[in-house]
């Protein structure tokens, strides 16, 4: 099959990639563009470690043909990390030990970002619901929920918007 | 004078924490090198078969195919992980030779320019297999006439000339004869997959100085390095293993599975080679916690003292032994539990079956033993007519007690742990239980 050119916005910059049809966004991010914060725990939509934001919505990049994001805005964990320091969600994960091995963390942070953008003061139940598609095998989920709750307190307490770059 | 503590009692930010929350931590599978090739494995679709032939013709014509590796390419194809600590015999095949002994056993490694080409070529390798009867149960595997998994005519691993890891203390039959109750039960467990979020994998990179740098997510860096050196028959100094970042392991990344064949592929092609399991490989072929069957028979007095314990345990090692002999040694040392029992007899068997090889997982050998012991203690309590706390205080070991495997206990803490646990859950202990300690007994009579 002939390759196709796909243009989209990635973390605030325009990118153009040449891909075989049906190549996943995950594969393009990791193998072509070097954006490896997006993980690949299962490549079948089961673990959530590849979650990215597409036009602000959390999506599983392992199930998403990159042609589907043509002309759209993609944000990965690289895109919410400031040049200096950390995003408040990242700070909260660090302080609450919302990770152990770190492999599910990028997906968890991206889901948290999408949640807090839509619902700045979510209940613990809403947080649990938001991360229900993201598997963690190390910590258990309580420290992760604690981290997202802490991030929500800080972001809404200071009136700061969670909008990243 | 107490030492000034700088870290104990304080929260310390982990050194890898910023990397984890920013996604800058480099996991082995994140690495990309110029000219990197991809390795995928042709695996057995059945549990047990004789290999009559392997046809690579169609696979070799897939665009992007670079080469395939079979057992003939592996310098030392039969190994055992624990040979490093003197365990024999070598019995696991890096790539299957004349037989496959479990579903998913690697047969041919395919190396290609892209992952897609490697997968396509794998799909086009034709296997001619003569399927054989398979065995999946430890006791069936030990019966005469059972399908034989190994090359030595039975399914038993030998521990220094004995078919089981044995522990003997006192005389269990005499203990049973003096007992008021006999409590017997069998405990079974299934294999458990560790299921780390990051799958097993590595990248092997040939260096200009003739060495190979292997970026791996193994939990056992030097075990993997040494076994790779043995399998490839090269000095260890030609291997530089880089690791320590593991996206979840829980014991599932202790074996030596991807590094030897990826390094061999790098040697044969002169290019970096990436070999990372798919999720289905992680679930089907990475080793599990073994399945166990544990028979336990206890002789107990009317007042709750256990006089004798006889245990026969079978660990299902699957097709190869890997770390299971070590698990059985730990099991045999621990399956009497943290209790003072004067007469003990333990036989723990490592049994080969056609299941996925089992190996390490959190406390392996001890975990299932402890499950059996503690459920057994509850059964004994019920039989004697005391509560589950009391039966454990009655039988708790003390410092100075001789353990069944001939160690003198020096760090007994069962009594203190139970006292703390009772406080946590609001259980009222008797005054006698509250006053107990693990300090050595005034008299060892009846214990030794």
* Residue pLDDT, tens place only, A60-87: 999 999 999 999 999 999 999 999 999 9
By the CB < 8 Å criterion, does A22 face chain B?
A: no
Kindly list the strands in the beta sheet with B49-55, ordered across the sheet, starting from the edge strand earlier in the chain.
Answer: B99-100, B49-55, B126-131
pLDDT, tens digit (0-9, with 9 covering 90-100), for B176-213: 999 999 999 999 999 999 999 999 999 999 999 999 99
What pLDDT does A158 receive? 57
Name the β-bridge partners of A58: A53
Q: Residue A1 — pLDDT band, cuts 50, 70, 90?
A: confident
Confidence of residue B308 (pLDDT cuts 50, 70, 90): very high
Q: What is the DSSP string of A107-135?
A: HHHHHHHHHHHH-SS--HHHHHHHTTT--
Query: Under an 8 A CB cutoff, do B248 and A101 touch?
Result: yes
Average pLDDT of chain A to the nearest whole number: 94
Q: What whole-number distance in Å separates Cα of residue B87 and Cα of residue A123?
A: 55
Question: CATH fold of B165-192+287-435, please?
Answer: Aldehyde Oxidoreductase; domain 4 (3.30.365)
Which 26-45 residues of chain A touch chain B by CB within 8 A? Answer: 30-31, 34, 36-44
SS3 (DSSP) at A10: strand
Q: Provide the pLDDT for residue B3.
A: 83
Contact status of A93 with chain B (Cβ, < 8 Å): yes
pLDDT band with cut points at 50, 70 and 90 for residue B70: very high
Is residue A13's pLDDT more than 50? yes
Band of residue A44 on the pLDDT scale cut at 50, 70, 90: very high
In a 13 Å sphere around the CA of B9, the CA atoms on its Cβ side amount to 3
Distance of alpha carbon B54 from alpha carbon B126, whole angstroms: 6
Partner-chain contact A39 B22, CB within 8 Å: no
Closest chain A residue to B283, measured at CA: A42
Give the nearest partner residue to B22 out of A90, A95, A137, using CB atoms: A90
CA distance B406 to B397: 14
Q: How confident is the model at residue B12 (pLDDT cuts 50, 70, 90)?
A: confident
pLDDT tier at A164, thresholds 50, 70, 90 = very low
Confidence of residue B300 (pLDDT cuts 50, 70, 90): very high
Q: Cα distance from A58 to chain B (closest Cα, Å)?
A: 17
**Matching CATH number, A88-157, of 1.10.486.10, 1.10.150.120, 1.10.10.10, 1.20.120.1770:** 1.10.150.120
Please list every residue in chain A whose beta carbon sits closer than 8 Å to the beta carbon of residue B19.
Answer: 102
Rounded-to-integer distance, Cα B74 and Cα B107, Å? 12
| For range A14-29, the mean pLDDT | 97
Homologous superfamily (CATH) for A4-80: Beta-grasp domain (3.10.20.30)
pLDDT at B443: 79
pLDDT for B448 beyond 70? no
DSSP string, B102-152: STT-EEEEEEESSHHHHHHHHHTPEEEEEE------HHHHHSTTPPP-SSS
| Per-residue model confidence (pLDDT) at position B444 | 66
Question: At A157, is the pLDDT very low, low, confident or very high (cuts 50, 70, 90)?
Answer: confident
pLDDT of residue A165: 39
A3 touches chain B (CB under 8 A): no
**Domain extent listing, chain A:** 4-80, 88-157
Q: Among residues 107-126 of chain A, which lie with CB inside 8 Å of chain B?
A: 109
**Does residue B29 carry a pLDDT above 80?**
yes
What's the mean per-residue pLDDT of chain B?
Answer: 96
Q: What is the mean pLDDT of residues A150-156?
A: 96
pLDDT digit string (tens) for B147-167? 999 999 999 999 999 999 999
Residues 145-164 of A with CB under 8 A from B: none
Listed by start position, the domains of chain B span: 165-192+287-435
Asked if A101 lies within 8 A of B279 by C-beta distance, the reply is no
pLDDT tens column, B87-130: 999 999 999 999 999 999 999 999 999 999 999 999 999 999 99
Half-sphere exposure of A81 (CA within 13 A, CB side): 15
A77 reaches B (C-beta below 8 A): yes
Q: Does residue B216 surpass a pLDDT of 70? A: yes
pLDDT at residue B9 in the model: 87
Question: Who among A43, A93, A138 is closest to B248 (CB)?
Answer: A138
In which region does residue A120 sit, left (phi positive, over 0), alpha (psi from -120 to 50) or beta (all else)?
alpha
Q: Encode B53-79: b = buried (16+ Cβ within 10 Å), e = exposed.
A: ebebeebeebebbbbbbbbebbeebeb
pLDDT, tens digit (0-9, with 9 covering 90-100), for B419-443: 999 999 999 999 999 999 999 998 7
pLDDT of residue A139: 85
Spatial distance between the Cα atoms of B124 and B448, rounded to a whole number of angstroms: 66
What's the rounded Cα separation, in Å, for the pair B37 and A27? Answer: 16
A24 pLDDT band, cuts 50/70/90, is very high
pLDDT bucket at A163, cuts 50 / 70 / 90: very low
B408 pLDDT higher than 50: yes
Is 70 exceeded by the pLDDT of residue B60? yes
Instruction: Specify the higher pLDDT residue, B93 or B3.
Output: B93
The 3-state DSSP composition of chain B as helix, strand, coil percent (nearest 5) reads: 30, 25, 45
């Amino acid at each position: 099959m002939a390759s196709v050119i796909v243009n989209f916005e990635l973390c605030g910059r325009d990118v153009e990639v040449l891909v075989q049809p049906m190549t996943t966004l995950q594969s393009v991010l990791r193998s072509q563009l070097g954006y490896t914060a997006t993980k690949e725990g299962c490549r079948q939509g089961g673990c959530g470690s590849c979650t990215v934001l597409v036009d602000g919505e959390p999506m599983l990049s392992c199930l998403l043909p990159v042609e589907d994001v043509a002309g759209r805005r993609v944000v990965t964990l690289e895109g919410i990390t400031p040049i200096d320091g950390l995003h408040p969600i990242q700070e909260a994960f660090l302080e609450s030990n919302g990770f152990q091995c770190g492999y599910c963390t990028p997906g968890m942070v991206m889901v948290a970002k999408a949640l807090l953008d839509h619902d700045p003061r979510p209940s613990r139940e809403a947080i649990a619901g938001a991360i229900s598609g993201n598997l963690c095998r190390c910590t258990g989920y309580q420290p992760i929920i604690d981290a997202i709750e802490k991030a929500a307190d800080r972001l809404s307490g200071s009136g700061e918007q969670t909008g990243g770059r | 004078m107490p030492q000034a503590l700088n870290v104990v009692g304080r929260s310390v930010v982990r050194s890898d924490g910023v990397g984890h929350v920013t996604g800058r931590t480099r996991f082995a599978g994140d690495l990309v090198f110029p000219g990197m090739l991809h390795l995928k494995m042709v695996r057995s679709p059945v549990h047990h078969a004789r290999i009559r032939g392997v046809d690579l013709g169609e696979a070799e014509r897939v665009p992007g195919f670079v080469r395939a590796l079979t057992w003939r390419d592996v310098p030392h194809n039969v190994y055992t992980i624990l040979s490093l600590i003197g365990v024999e015999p070598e019995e696991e095949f890096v790539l299957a030779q004349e037989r496959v002994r479990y579903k998913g056993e690697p047969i041919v490694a395919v190396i290609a320019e892209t992952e897609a080409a490697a997968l396509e070529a794998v799909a086009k390798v034709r296997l001619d297999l003569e399927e054989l009867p398979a065995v999946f149960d430890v006791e069936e595997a030990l019966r005469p006439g059972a399908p034989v998994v190994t090359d030595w005519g039975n399914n038993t691993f030998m521990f220094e000339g004995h078919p089981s890891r044995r522990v003997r203390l006192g005389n269990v039959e005499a203990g049973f004869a003096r007992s008021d109750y006999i409590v017997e039960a069998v405990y079974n467990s299934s294999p458990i997959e560790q299921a780390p979020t990051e799958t097993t994998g590595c990248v092997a990179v040939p260096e200009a100085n003739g060495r190979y740098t292997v970026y791996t997510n193994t939990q056992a860096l030097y075990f993997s390095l040494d076994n790779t050196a043995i399998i490839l028959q090269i000095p260890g100094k030609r291997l530089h293993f880089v690791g320590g970042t593991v996206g979840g392991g829980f014991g599932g990344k202790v074996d030596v599975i991807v590094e030897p064949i990826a390094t061999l592929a790098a040697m044969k092609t002169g290019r970096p080679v990436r070999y990372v399991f798919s999720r289905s490989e992680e679930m089907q072929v990475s080793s599990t916690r073994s399945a166990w069957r544990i028979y336990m028979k206890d002789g107990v007095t009317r007042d709750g003292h256990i006089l004798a314990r006889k245990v026969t345990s079978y660990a299902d090692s699957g097709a190869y032994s890997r770390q299971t002999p070590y698990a059985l040694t730990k099991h045999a040392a621990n399956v009497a539990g943290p209790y003072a029992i004067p007469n003990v007899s333990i036989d723990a068997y490592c049994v080969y079956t056609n299941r996925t090889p089992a190996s390490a997982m959190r406390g392996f050998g001890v975990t299932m033993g402890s499950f059996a012991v503690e459920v057994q203690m509850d059964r004994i309590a019920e039989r004697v007519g005391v509560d589950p706390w009391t039966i454990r205080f009655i039988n708790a070991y003390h410092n100075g007690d001789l353990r069944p495997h001939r160690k003198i206990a020096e760090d007994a803490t069962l009594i203190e742990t139970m006292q703390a646990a009772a406080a946590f859950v609001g259980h009222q202990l008797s005054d006698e239980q509250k006053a107990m300690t693990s300090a050595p007994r005034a008299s060892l009579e009846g214990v030794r």
